Amino acid sequence: MARREALGRCPVCDGILDVTRLTCTDCETVIEGRFDTCKFCQLSSEQKNFVEVFIKNRGNIKEVEKDLGISYPTVRNRLDAVIAALGYAVDDSEDDVATRRKEIIESLAKGEITADDAVRQLKGK
């Protein structure tokens, strides 16, 4: 039987899913209860892919840009989104906010992101 990756978020409402049953693949022991998933399990597929590419490239943003075919501002925005999704504060000083807005608009102008993505990023979501 083909194995699938466990979902971390509900495909209907995007809420966090509880793992309630674990089964041993060797002896078939079953453990039931409520178990937390790891923080990374709760990232979207796109965010997981970004993290994988970021780690593979040892955090070298130029290499991440090449691998994903995106600009520096887009790499930075995606990294900030992952940081926020993991529950950490993203430090946005006033200068950073202005710079980030400019980067989002530039990414939109280059066609690297959609208008919906730009709106979402400008709202900080």
Query: Can you say how many angstroms the Cα of residue 35 is from the centroid of all Cα atoms in its chain?
Result: 22
Q: What are phi and psi of 95, to 5 degrees?
A: -65, -40
34 shares its domain with 78: no
Domain count, the chain: 2
Q: Which long-range contacts (CB under 8 A, 24 or more apart) does 118-124 make?
A: 121/77, 121/81
62 shares its domain with 99: yes
- Give residue 112's domain range: 43-122
What letter would DSSP give residue 42? Answer: G
34 shares its domain with 51: no
84 shares its domain with 105: yes
Distances (CA, A) of 43 to 2, 27, 63, 67, 106: 22, 31, 22, 20, 26
pLDDT tens-digit series, residues 82-106: 999 898 988 766 557 777 788 888 8
108 shares its domain with 52: yes
31 shares its domain with 72: no
pTM for the model: 0.59
What letter would DSSP give residue 109? Answer: H
pLDDT tens-digit series, residues 13-60: 888 888 889 899 899 999 999 887 788 888 888 999 999 999 999 999
- For residues 100 and 121, give the distance between their C-alpha atoms in angstroms, rounded to a whole number: 9
111 shares its domain with 77: yes
Q: How confident is the model at residue 113 (pLDDT cuts 50, 70, 90)?
A: confident
27 shares its domain with 76: no
What beta strand segments (E) does 16-62 contain? Answer: 19-23, 30-35
